[in-house]
Amino acid sequence: MKEITREELAELVNRVSAEVSEIYTDVQDTGHGCLIVSFLILCDEF
């Protein structure tokens, strides 16, 4: 994993938070699959 700056880390946290809150309502209907997939996609970008 590459080194990331504090700014990049803050940006990543903000993106993950946005993703999670966006997906949260879907999770109630479809289970945790889409949450995990989305998280893996985010991780894959870094």
On whether residue 32 sits in a domain, the answer given is yes
Q: Report whether 35 contacts 20 (CB < 8 A).
A: yes
Alpha-carbon span 41 to 45, nearest angstrom: 7
Tokens of 45: 């970008």
On whether residue 18 sits in a domain, the answer given is yes
- 1-46 pLDDT, tens digit per residue, is 678 788 988 888 888 888 777 766 666 665 555 566 666 666 666 5
Domain that holds residue 40: 10-44
pTM of the model: 0.42
The pLDDT value recorded for residue 35 is 61
> How many domains in the chain?
1
The pLDDT value recorded for residue 18 is 82
Alpha helical stretches, state H, the chain: 6-30, 33-44
On whether residue 5 sits in a domain, the answer given is no
Residues, the chain: 46
On whether residue 22 sits in a domain, the answer given is yes
